Structure 1
Amino acid sequence: MTAPYFAPTGGLPPQTALMTGRAIFTEAYCVIPKGCFSDIVTSYLPGWSETRMWLIARPMTGFSETFSQYVMEVAPGGGSDAPDNEPGAQSVIFVTKGTATLSLDGQDHVLDDGGYAYIPPGRAWRLWNRSGAPVHFHWVRKLYEPAEGIATPDPIVSSDRTVTPIAMPDTDGRWATTRFADPSDLRHDMHVNIVTFQPGGLIPFEETHVMEHGLYVLEGKAVYKLNRDWVEIEAGDFMWLRAYCPQACYAAGPGPFRYLLYKDVNRHAKLRGPGGFGR
């Protein structure tokens, strides 16, 4: 399967461009359109060389509480032997353009377009660009929440090209999910999947649930219901949904509409500390 994943190129709009865009930040959701991915909003990370990133989601009181998400751009020869300074963090890497070499527990894996890796907490890993062109990938991070009697998950190295999407019931295949981890595996406290809508596919009700979401549009366009608003979305846009934000979707075409989806799963609601009322 050849999948045209959108990857930002940076740069700056010309001084003659109109400023008006589609960016919005509300009490329930945020939309960061692809036009916001300019050079001026990039940042850098300790321990990484020849690398810049767009930080599109981070934990914030009253909004996202569980995850961060980076859009990474690593130039040829760049990368890191010490990518993450948080020992309790688990990570998902998803490559949208180029080729990265991931070393995980001492074994090298080559990830090209559509390549996916789940890295459990406490594992030794490195990532380098040994190719002659930049590599772009998404990096989702979440502190792992241990559960009594449940081991941490095993690593996963896979690809969008090799995992068969599973159609949602009664949709005639117009709405399907590519799942890289078994949803019944309680070792996982987060899922990062790919959701695909064929033209005419839709979410036929307003989903309202405890999971918060990060949605990066890989391909196509649609209209998305976010809380009270219908918002036009296209490849390269990012949506950030607070828990219980009502959501629905209609993909009008002409081609498939696909997005990378983060959600937190399989754990009790917090009653103490951040996000809870106890002390």
Structure 2
Amino acid sequence: MSGYYTPKGGLPPQTALMTQRAVFTEAYAVIPRGCFSDIVTSYLPGWRKTRLWLIARPMSGFAETFSQYVMEVQPGGGSDSPDAEPGAEHWLFITEGLATLTIDGTGHDVEQGAYAYIPAGSRWTLLAEGPSPTRFHWLRKLYEPAPDVPAPEAFVTSDRETPVRWMPDTQDRWGTTRFVDPEDLRHDAHVNIVTFQPGGVIPFEETHVMEHGLYVLEGKAVYKLNQDWIEVEAGDFMWLRAYCPQACYAAGPGPFRYLLYKDVNRHARLRGPGAFGPPR
């Protein structure tokens, strides 16, 4: 479980064909790995020797709850003030390199496969410590407190330390690495890793209110998005709005794995008089 794809940037040669698999529809978007070029990178205040690909942001009428970055921090780079948004909670998943992550004064050495949850209001820093760049996924969401439910605590774990929970009656072909207990109502979103062994399938069209971000870490598959079957491979990103039907067939010779975001465990927000706070 260490073959995580990480984009390296660069630009395609002038001799390359323009044709790619990028698509944006009313129900989903696909950003293939060929789009992760130097020309679409960005930078953030407070981050040193760092660039990123911003692959998801809240958009009215589409996915509205989260943002997702693919970060690349050069040796010695990082941040002592990563995010100025005090209400944001954070998930980090390291795909390459070494770093020191400090959360509320406690330091953690993180490397490939490490996973961290950082609650809203935490003070945290990250420093790339290895001889090569540290690359990781960073997901952000405004935390939604719930009455009589305490806020979750920070934790750091890893992919290899967390077992895959295989779906029943799938012969261990489809499962999820769950970093948080699904019944833990302190959490208002889950960021997990989904694994399919060759031939594994989602045998029905999932259609539900959860928003999804799916970054393919390893392998390839054919994925059903709304009415379309799309070929995807390691390094591709899929962005699904609420109610977009989805299914999957793992068609490659090896495991197909992706990092999955979904919002969970909270009431649907109502708009207008009597709603919980301002509309999103």
Partner of 2:13: 14
Partner of 2:133: 134
Partner of 1:252: 251
Asked whether the equivalents of residues 78 and 129 of structure 1 are also in contact (C-alpha less than 8 Å), the reply is yes
- How far, CA to CA, are the matches of 2:263 and 2:201 in structure 1? 22
Structure 1 ranges of 4+ moved more than 2 A: 276-279
- How far, CA to CA, are the matches of 2:114 and 2:70 in structure 1? 15
- How far, CA to CA, are the matches of 1:161 and 1:41 in structure 2? 32
SS at match of 1:8: coil
Read off the aligned partner of 1:188 and give its amino acid letter: H
Partner of 2:260: 261
For 1:161-172, what aligned pairs fall within 5 Å after superposition?
Answer: 161-172=160-171
Partner of 1:215: 214
Query: Residues 222-273 of structure 1: CA distance to partner in whole angstroms, max 9, x if unpaired?
Result: 0000000000000000000000000000002200000000000000001126
Partner of 1:101: 100
Read off the aligned partner of 2:151 and give its amino acid letter: T
2:47 paired with 1:48: yes
Asked whether the equivalents of residues 220 and 256 of structure 1 are also in contact (C-alpha less than 8 Å), the reply is yes
* Long gaps (5+) in structure 2: none
Read off the aligned partner of 1:139 and give its amino acid letter: W
* Long gaps (5+) in structure 1: none
Partner of 1:59: 58
- How far, CA to CA, are the matches of 1:49 and 1:180 in structure 2? 29
Shift of 1:68: 0.1
- How far, CA to CA, are the matches of 1:65 and 1:109 in structure 2? 31
After superposition, the CA RMSD in angstroms is 1.5
2:87 paired with 1:84: no
- How far, CA to CA, are the matches of 1:126 and 1:272 in structure 2? 36
- How far, CA to CA, are the matches of 2:121 and 2:106 in structure 1? 16
- How far, CA to CA, are the matches of 1:171 and 1:27 in structure 2? 32
Asked whether the equivalents of residues 152 and 187 of structure 1 are also in contact (C-alpha less than 8 Å), the reply is yes
2:209 paired with 1:227: no
Read off the aligned partner of 1:79 and give its amino acid letter: G
Shift of 1:148: 0.6
Shift of 1:111: 1.1
For 1:27-38, what aligned pairs fall within 5 Å after superposition?
Answer: 27-38=26-37
Asked whether the equivalents of residues 271 and 277 of structure 1 are also in contact (C-alpha less than 8 Å), the reply is no
Query: How many residues align structurally?
Result: 277
Moved more, 39-48 or 103-112: 103-112
Shift of 1:77: 0.5
- How far, CA to CA, are the matches of 1:38 and 1:101 in structure 2? 27
Asked whether the equivalents of residues 91 and 142 of structure 1 are also in contact (C-alpha less than 8 Å), the reply is yes
Shift of 1:105: 1.1
Read off the aligned partner of 1:47 and give its amino acid letter: G
Partner of 2:4: 5
For 1:200-211, what aligned pairs fall within 5 Å after superposition?
Answer: 200-211=199-210
- How far, CA to CA, are the matches of 1:278 and 1:9 in structure 2? 38
Read off the aligned partner of 2:208 and give its amino acid letter: H
Shift of 1:64: 1.1
TM-score, normalised via structure 1 length: 0.97
Shift of 1:278: 7.7
- How far, CA to CA, are the matches of 2:99 and 2:93 in structure 1? 10
TM-score, normalised via structure 2 length: 0.97
Asked whether the equivalents of residues 222 and 232 of structure 1 are also in contact (C-alpha less than 8 Å), the reply is yes
SS at match of 1:40: helix
Query: Residues 88-115 of structure 1: CA distance to partner in whole angstroms, max 9, x if unpaired?
Result: 0000000011112100111111111110
Read off the aligned partner of 1:39 and give its amino acid letter: D
| Alpha carbons of structure 1 residues 39 and 202: separation in structure 2 relative to 1, 3 Å | same
Partner of 1:75: 74
Read off the aligned partner of 1:259 and give its amino acid letter: Y
- How far, CA to CA, are the matches of 1:50 and 1:7 in structure 2? 18
Partner of 1:184: 183
State percent identity of aligned pairs.
73
Read off the aligned partner of 1:182 and give its amino acid letter: D
Read off the aligned partner of 1:207 and give its amino acid letter: E
| Alpha carbons of structure 1 residues 278 and 32: separation in structure 2 relative to 1, 3 Å | closer
